[in-house]
Amino acid sequence: MNNHPVLRAPGFLYRDQELHCERVPLHELAAQFGTPLYVYSATTIRERFRAFRRAFGRARHTICYSVKANSNLAVLRLLQRLGAGFDVVSGGELARMLKVDRRAAEDVVFSGVGKTADEIAAGLRAGILMFNVESESELAVLARCAARARKKARVALRVNPHIETETHPYISTGLREHKFGVAIEQARTLYARIREENYLDPAGISVHIGSQITDMEPFRQAMLRVAELVRQLAADGHRIRYIDAGGGLGISYTGEDDFPARAQAYAQAVLAPLRGLKIHLLLEPGRALVGPAGALLTRVLYIKSNDHKRFVVVDAGMNDLVRPVLYAAYHEIVPVAHRDGVRRAEVDIVGPVCETGDFLARDRQMPMLSEGELLAVLDAGAYGMSLASNYNTRGRPAEVMVEGAKARLIRRRETAADMMRGERK
C-alpha cells in the first residue's frame, strides 16, 4: 500500500511509508553502501530518453547527451545502448566515451571554449562527428591540428544569438557579455575562412543559450536566428548539414513535471523555425534526462539550536552537492521513513564542511526529525556527483544504479588513500 503521494515516478516513491528507488527500499541501500550515497533509477533515465526521442518524431536528429551533467560510466553506457550520441567538453569526457565504446565517437560533438591542442588531436584520432568551435583563434589551432594529422575535421561555429533567458546568471550563455561562441554577425566571415582550409569542413552551426530554461520562447527565437544564418550561408555557397541546438531544457525541482509534454513543447519550439531546411538536428539534453533520476541519501548526525535558529546537521556537505550554495538552487528534501501527522518546524539543513555556506536548505519547513534518520535530496541526478569535490579531504560518495528490484554499485566510495594517491611528501 502506498501511503504517501508519489514523488518522482517511476524512480522515487513511497511504498508502505518507506521511500524506494523503483522497488528497492532506500534504507537498505544506506545500510549496505553507507551515506552520503547517490542513487539513480535506470528506468527513469530510459523513460525520459525515450520521451525526448518521441517528441522529435521523424525529424532527422541525434540526441547527444551532455556528459557533464552526470559522467558515470554506467549512466553513459545505459544511454549509449539506447542510441544516444554525446556532447563532451574536455579530453577527459572524450576518454570516458571511448572507454564505454570506441565506436561511440562517431556520434560525439566536442564543445567547450578552451579546448587544448592535445584535446583537439585526441578528437581527431577518435574520429568524432564534429567540433563546435567557439573562437577565431580556436579555429586556427583546429586547422593546424587537422593538417598535421591529415584528417578532415567537421566544424560547426558556435554562434551567440544574444538571446536573454530567465535562469541563473552563471548558467546563462547566450548574451554578448558571456564567454561562449562568436557573435552571429561575424559568422559569415568566419565560414568563408573555414572554406579556405583544406582540412576543415564547414558542416554545421551550433548554438546553446543556457541551462535550466523552462520558457520555450528563447529556444524558438534562437532557432529563428540560426535558420536565417543557414539561408545566408547557403547563398554564400556553403552546404550546412547539421544544426546543433544545444541543450538547456529545464526540469521542475518541485516535482510538478509532465516531462513528455515539456519535451513536446521544446521540440515544437526548436523544429518550427527549421521547416524547409534539409538539416540533421543535434540536441544536447543533460539535466532533462538524468536530473530527476537521482537522489542523494544523507543521514542526520545532530540536531542543535542556536537561540531561535534550529539546525539539522547531516553527513552530506557542499562537497557532495554544491548546487544549493553555488546557484542558490532548491532541492526537495524528504524523510526516507514517512510518518503521518508529524509536527513540522523551520530548520536549516547543513553539512559537516567547515564553511558557513555548507548547507542543503535554509529556512525549510520539515517534519520533526531525529538524529540517525535518513533523508533523501531529490532531483540530484544532474550536476550532483559531477560537481562533487574533495574539499576538507572528504571522499566523494558512492554511486548506485537501481533497476527494478536490483541495485548495483557503479562507483565505490572514495577513501583517504584514493585522495592522496597522486601526492608525494
The DSSP annotation for 214-270 comes to --SHHHHHHHHHHHHHHHHHHHTT----EEE----B---TTS---HHHHHHHHHHHH
Residue ranges of the chain whose pLDDT lies below 70: 1-6, 164-180
Q: Which CATH superfamily is domain 12-41+292-420 in?
A: Lyase, Ornithine Decarboxylase; Chain A, domain 1 (2.40.37.10)
Query: Which residues are marked as active site?
Result: 354
The pLDDT assigned to 161 comes to 83
Tell me the CATH architecture of domain 42-288. Alpha-Beta Barrel (3.20)
Which residue shows C-alpha cell 525529424? 59
The structure's pTM equals 0.94
The pLDDT assigned to 170 comes to 40
Q: Are 209 and 222 in contact (CB under 8 A)?
A: yes
Report whether the peptide linkage leading into residue 10 is cis, meaning its omega lies within 30 degrees of zero.
yes
The pLDDT assigned to 172 comes to 42
Give the three-state DSSP class for 141: helix
pLDDT tens-digit series, residues 143-169: 999 999 999 999 999 998 877 655 434
pLDDT tens-digit series, residues 309-333: 999 999 999 999 999 999 999 999 9
CA geometry: angle 330, 347, 298, nearest 5 deg: 65
Cα distance between the two ends of the chain: 57
Give the closest residue to 61 by CA, choosing from 119, 129, 163: 129
Radius of gyration of the chain from its Cα atoms, rounded to whole angstroms: 23
State which H helix or E strand residue 196 sits in.
helix 187-196
CA distance 282 to 58: 14
The pLDDT assigned to 178 comes to 54
pLDDT tens-digit series, residues 240-272: 999 999 999 999 999 878 999 999 999 999 999
Report residue 165 as a C-alpha cell. Answer: 533567458
Report residue 280 as a C-alpha cell. Answer: 540533421
Q: Where along the chain do its domains lie?
A: 12-41+292-420, 42-288
CA distance 85 to 107: 5
Which residues share a beta bridge with 409?
A: 400
The pLDDT assigned to 7 comes to 78
Strands 294-306 and 130-133: unpaired
Q: Are 253 and 217 in contact (CB under 8 A)?
A: no
